Amino acid sequence: MRMRIVYLLMFMFLIFAGCSNQNGHEKSVEPQPDPEPGITGYVMDKEGQRILVVSTEAKDFSGNGGMEEFYDAVWASNPQKEVELGEQVKIWFEGGVETSYPGQAAVGKIEIMPSTTPEGAVLSDTEALNRALSKNTFENEIVTAQSIQYDADKDEWTILLKNTDSYEEYPIKVQDK
Protein backbone atom coordinates (compact mmCIF):
# COMPACT_ATOMS: atom_id res chain seq x y z
CA MET A 1 0.00 0.00 0.00
CA ARG A 2 2.82 2.36 0.89
CA MET A 3 4.56 1.66 -2.38
CA ARG A 4 1.40 2.45 -4.27
CA ILE A 5 1.18 5.89 -2.63
CA VAL A 6 4.87 6.54 -3.38
CA TYR A 7 4.36 5.54 -7.04
CA LEU A 8 1.19 7.65 -7.25
CA LEU A 9 3.02 10.68 -5.81
CA MET A 10 5.93 10.19 -8.21
CA PHE A 11 3.51 9.86 -11.14
CA MET A 12 1.70 13.07 -10.13
CA PHE A 13 5.05 14.87 -9.72
CA LEU A 14 6.10 13.86 -13.24
CA ILE A 15 2.77 15.05 -14.68
CA PHE A 16 3.03 18.44 -12.95
CA ALA A 17 6.67 18.82 -13.96
CA GLY A 18 5.79 18.08 -17.58
CA CYS A 19 3.05 20.71 -17.58
CA SER A 20 5.28 23.50 -16.30
CA ASN A 21 7.52 25.72 -18.42
CA GLN A 22 11.02 24.37 -19.19
CA ASN A 23 12.91 27.06 -17.28
CA GLY A 24 10.43 27.24 -14.44
CA HIS A 25 9.39 30.81 -15.30
CA GLU A 26 6.12 31.87 -16.78
CA LYS A 27 6.42 33.47 -20.16
CA SER A 28 4.97 36.98 -20.22
CA VAL A 29 3.39 38.15 -23.42
CA GLU A 30 3.59 41.90 -23.93
CA PRO A 31 1.20 43.48 -26.38
CA GLN A 32 2.95 44.48 -29.57
CA PRO A 33 2.59 48.12 -30.61
CA ASP A 34 0.38 48.80 -33.59
CA PRO A 35 2.65 49.18 -36.63
CA GLU A 36 0.45 51.96 -38.06
CA PRO A 37 -0.03 55.25 -36.20
CA GLY A 38 -3.48 56.11 -34.89
CA ILE A 39 -3.31 59.47 -36.63
CA THR A 40 -0.95 61.37 -38.93
CA GLY A 41 -1.49 65.08 -39.31
CA TYR A 42 -0.51 68.58 -38.28
CA VAL A 43 -0.57 70.06 -34.80
CA MET A 44 -3.29 72.67 -35.29
CA ASP A 45 -3.77 73.80 -31.66
CA LYS A 46 -2.21 73.44 -28.21
CA GLU A 47 -3.79 73.67 -24.76
CA GLY A 48 -1.71 72.88 -21.70
CA GLN A 49 -0.40 69.32 -21.94
CA ARG A 50 -2.40 68.37 -25.03
CA ILE A 51 -2.20 68.97 -28.76
CA LEU A 52 -4.89 68.93 -31.43
CA VAL A 53 -3.76 66.82 -34.38
CA VAL A 54 -5.87 66.95 -37.54
CA SER A 55 -5.33 64.68 -40.53
CA THR A 56 -4.89 66.17 -43.99
CA GLU A 57 -6.47 63.27 -45.86
CA ALA A 58 -10.26 62.97 -45.89
CA LYS A 59 -11.97 59.62 -45.43
CA ASP A 60 -15.15 58.84 -47.36
CA PHE A 61 -17.86 57.20 -45.25
CA SER A 62 -20.71 57.97 -47.67
CA GLY A 63 -20.93 54.31 -48.70
CA ASN A 64 -22.38 53.40 -45.31
CA GLY A 65 -24.45 56.55 -44.76
CA GLY A 66 -21.70 58.68 -43.23
CA MET A 67 -19.90 61.81 -44.33
CA GLU A 68 -18.28 61.99 -47.73
CA GLU A 69 -15.40 64.11 -46.43
CA PHE A 70 -14.29 63.29 -42.87
CA TYR A 71 -11.00 64.43 -41.30
CA ASP A 72 -9.68 62.63 -38.22
CA ALA A 73 -8.99 65.01 -35.34
CA VAL A 74 -7.71 64.05 -31.88
CA TRP A 75 -6.77 65.97 -28.76
CA ALA A 76 -3.66 63.98 -27.79
CA SER A 77 -2.56 64.36 -24.17
CA ASN A 78 0.94 64.11 -22.70
CA PRO A 79 2.95 63.94 -25.94
CA GLN A 80 6.26 63.22 -24.05
CA LYS A 81 8.13 65.56 -26.38
CA GLU A 82 7.99 69.30 -26.93
CA VAL A 83 5.78 69.66 -29.98
CA GLU A 84 5.27 72.96 -31.78
CA LEU A 85 2.18 74.32 -33.44
CA GLY A 86 2.39 73.50 -37.16
CA GLU A 87 4.55 70.38 -36.87
CA GLN A 88 3.51 67.27 -38.73
CA VAL A 89 3.35 64.24 -36.43
CA LYS A 90 2.50 60.57 -36.32
CA ILE A 91 0.88 59.41 -33.09
CA TRP A 92 0.31 55.95 -31.69
CA PHE A 93 -2.22 55.98 -28.86
CA GLU A 94 -1.99 54.46 -25.42
CA GLY A 95 -5.33 52.76 -25.00
CA GLY A 96 -8.43 53.75 -26.89
CA VAL A 97 -9.67 57.00 -28.38
CA GLU A 98 -12.83 58.65 -27.05
CA THR A 99 -15.30 58.83 -29.90
CA SER A 100 -16.18 62.51 -29.48
CA TYR A 101 -15.15 64.93 -32.22
CA PRO A 102 -12.39 65.68 -31.92
CA GLY A 103 -11.48 62.43 -30.21
CA GLN A 104 -9.37 62.38 -27.08
CA ALA A 105 -6.54 59.99 -26.31
CA ALA A 106 -3.25 59.63 -24.48
CA VAL A 107 -0.09 59.53 -26.55
CA GLY A 108 1.74 56.22 -26.43
CA LYS A 109 4.40 57.21 -28.96
CA ILE A 110 4.91 60.29 -31.10
CA GLU A 111 7.11 60.84 -34.12
CA ILE A 112 7.75 64.38 -35.37
CA MET A 113 8.12 64.46 -39.14
CA PRO A 114 11.00 66.50 -40.59
CA SER A 115 10.10 69.89 -42.01
CA THR A 116 11.35 71.19 -45.34
CA THR A 117 12.70 74.57 -46.40
CA PRO A 118 12.39 75.21 -50.13
CA GLU A 119 15.32 76.73 -52.00
CA GLY A 120 15.35 80.50 -51.49
CA ALA A 121 13.04 80.40 -48.44
CA VAL A 122 14.00 81.40 -44.93
CA LEU A 123 11.08 79.66 -43.21
CA SER A 124 10.36 75.96 -43.25
CA ASP A 125 6.90 74.66 -44.03
CA THR A 126 6.41 74.01 -40.30
CA GLU A 127 7.37 77.59 -39.38
CA ALA A 128 5.08 79.02 -42.07
CA LEU A 129 2.11 76.96 -40.81
CA ASN A 130 2.98 77.94 -37.24
CA ARG A 131 2.84 81.64 -38.17
CA ALA A 132 -0.44 81.20 -40.05
CA LEU A 133 -2.05 79.46 -37.07
CA SER A 134 -0.58 81.90 -34.52
CA LYS A 135 -1.88 84.99 -36.37
CA ASN A 136 -5.37 83.63 -37.04
CA THR A 137 -7.85 82.38 -34.50
CA PHE A 138 -10.45 79.82 -35.38
CA GLU A 139 -12.84 79.98 -32.43
CA ASN A 140 -14.61 76.66 -31.97
CA GLU A 141 -13.53 75.56 -35.44
CA ILE A 142 -11.38 72.61 -36.36
CA VAL A 143 -9.26 73.27 -39.42
CA THR A 144 -6.95 71.07 -41.43
CA ALA A 145 -3.97 72.11 -43.53
CA GLN A 146 -4.82 71.36 -47.15
CA SER A 147 -1.67 72.81 -48.71
CA ILE A 148 1.46 74.70 -47.73
CA GLN A 149 3.23 76.29 -50.71
CA TYR A 150 6.11 78.70 -51.09
CA ASP A 151 6.18 81.24 -53.96
CA ALA A 152 9.81 82.31 -54.48
CA ASP A 153 8.85 85.16 -56.84
CA LYS A 154 6.65 86.78 -54.18
CA ASP A 155 8.77 85.52 -51.27
CA GLU A 156 5.64 84.37 -49.48
CA TRP A 157 3.85 81.23 -48.36
CA THR A 158 0.24 80.40 -49.11
CA ILE A 159 -1.34 78.13 -46.57
CA LEU A 160 -4.78 76.75 -47.38
CA LEU A 161 -6.73 75.77 -44.27
CA LYS A 162 -10.12 74.07 -44.42
CA ASN A 163 -12.87 73.87 -41.81
CA THR A 164 -13.55 70.16 -41.16
CA ASP A 165 -17.26 70.80 -40.56
CA SER A 166 -18.38 73.51 -43.02
CA TYR A 167 -15.55 72.84 -45.54
CA GLU A 168 -14.99 76.61 -45.79
CA GLU A 169 -11.48 77.33 -47.05
CA TYR A 170 -9.13 79.96 -45.63
CA PRO A 171 -6.17 80.95 -47.81
CA ILE A 172 -3.57 82.62 -45.59
CA LYS A 173 -0.47 84.48 -46.81
CA VAL A 174 2.71 84.44 -44.72
CA GLN A 175 5.72 86.56 -45.65
CA ASP A 176 8.99 84.62 -45.67
CA LYS A 177 10.98 86.89 -43.37
Q: What is the pLDDT of residues 99-112, one digit of tens each?
A: 899 999 999 999 99
- Helix, strand, or coil here: 29? coil
Give 39-175's CATH code, choosing from 2.60.40.1580, 1.10.10.60, 2.40.50.140, 3.40.50.300.
Answer: 2.40.50.140
Distance from chain centroid for Cα 104? 11
Q: pLDDT band at 134, cuts 50/70/90?
A: very high
Domain limits, the chain: 39-175
- Who contacts 76 (Cβ-Cβ below 8 Å, separation ≥6)? 39, 50, 51, 52, 53, 91, 93, 105, 106, 107, 110
Find out whether 157 and 151 touch, Cβ atoms under 8 Å.
yes
Please report which residue ranges of 33-147 form alpha helices under DSSP H: 125-135
Mean pLDDT of the chain: 85
Give the mean pLDDT of 37-63: 95
Q: Which residue has the higher pLDDT, 43 or 177?
A: 43
Average of per-residue pLDDT across 42-61: 95
Whether residue 26 is predicted with pLDDT greater than 50 in this model: the reply is no
